[in-house]
Amino acid sequence: MSDDIRAMAERIGFRIDPDARIDQLSIAEQQRVEILKVLLAGAKILILDEPTAVLTEEEAENLLTTVRGFAHEGAAVILVTHKMNDVLRYADQVTIMRSGRTIKSLKPDSVSVDELVKLTVGESAPEQRIPVEERTSGEPYLNVKGLTSTGDHRALNGLDLTLNKGEIYGIAGVGGNGQSELANALMGIPEGVEGTMKLIGEGDLADFDAARRRAIGVAAIPADRYGSALAGPLSIADNFALGDIHSGRYGPFWYLKTGAIEADAAEAVRQFDVQGVRSLKQKSALLSGGNAQKLVIAREFSHPPKLVLAHSPSRGLDVKATEAVRKRLRAARDNGAAVLLISEDLDEVMAMADRIGVMSAGRIVNEFSQPADRQAIGQAMVNHV
């Protein structure tokens, strides 16, 4: 088995130790093992989802050359990728998907990179843009400098950005370019990073614990609402109160004022239109995705926020819930908060953001002011990877 692994690894151009423990490998090395595994299993149908995202340029070229060889030997290969040059160089046929639908299928030699980008991101939709108006944002509030991942896989690579009070700064980009790592670092979810995340007049976010972040008005809406924002087995009332337990608002933690908690939770459920609540003692895990998100926002906005960190806030929500979430984010901005919106949904970024930063390879590679050119944003998303 070790001989087979070494032989296949050499054929592809990977460097893999067959005796190494998986939990001690980097993310990139684990990806190589996954690729080797399916190839060694003799698969006749290969489905590869962004297989080169964490590979070096040389490794990626070797892998795609090998995969193309398998296809020419009779295997069927589906390659999901946002790297347009790889599509033109290695694919026999390309299908463009957008919003869950097939847009077009064609031969790569009949289309240019610019045409692929246009098909992928779609035409500009004026009705989705922020209405053209004079919007003056305040002074800078969040200043991120040189944010870099410390692990083997540098998801963040010297990222710089400045977020002003009274504006929504939208981060657009293809998934897997460091968006999750940026959100985690800013929200205080453990993430090995170097650099600074300074709040003007407050200090570096990296030095603040959860209590300090909430005290200065940081609101966090993670992408994984059930995994990172709510405790599913706890009641709706308990989940709402979590943000204020440390402050003493509901008494000492060993003797909480449950009546006050339930009264505040009931008012929040009413104000934020959280549906499906039969009882405040009901487990939050029983809420639908949209209503769970409303509960998260109700808690995070229970005190006027100064900084809102929102990662994919409308992912998986229906149209009504999506609009409710966006309305709250706009209201926070209009009340002077600095709002950072991270989303892989370009329509959402175009509709919500006052300024747009394109994130690629762990850094902001371009910025656009509204009204922004959709095609230019699409080009920036794919030309720096």
Instruction: Encode pLDDT of 164-222 as tens digits.
Output: 999 999 999 877 788 989 999 999 887 788 999 999 989 999 899 888 888 899 999 99
The overall pTM is greater than 0.85:
no
Residue 228 is predicted with a pLDDT of 87
Domain match, 143 and 122 both: no
Domain match, 351 and 328 both: yes
Boundary (domain end) residue, out of 126, 156, 173? 126
- CA 72/CA 89 separation, integer angstroms: 14
Helices (H), 200-273: 210-215, 236-241, 258-271
Residue 336 is predicted with a pLDDT of 94
Residue 31 is predicted with a pLDDT of 73
pLDDT digits (tens, 9 = 90+) for 19-47: 988 887 766 677 778 888 888 888 889 89
pLDDT(287) > 50: yes
Domain match, 315 and 169 both: yes
Domain match, 133 and 119 both: no
pLDDT digits (tens, 9 = 90+) for 77-99: 999 887 788 888 899 999 998 77
Residue 51 is predicted with a pLDDT of 81
Range of the domain at 53: 2-126
Which residue did the predictor score with more confidence, 1 or 246?
1
Residue 126 is predicted with a pLDDT of 40
- CA 5/CA 16 separation, integer angstroms: 8
- Number of folded domains in the chain? 2
Boundary (domain end) residue, out of 111, 126, 141? 126
Domain match, 276 and 350 both: yes
Boundary (domain end) residue, out of 93, 126, 159? 126
Domain match, 192 and 325 both: yes
Task: Please spell the DSSP secondary structure of 307-326, one letter per residue.
Answer: EEEEESTTTT--HHHHHHHH
- CA 1/CA 5 separation, integer angstroms: 6
Domain match, 235 and 320 both: yes
Residue 263 is predicted with a pLDDT of 93
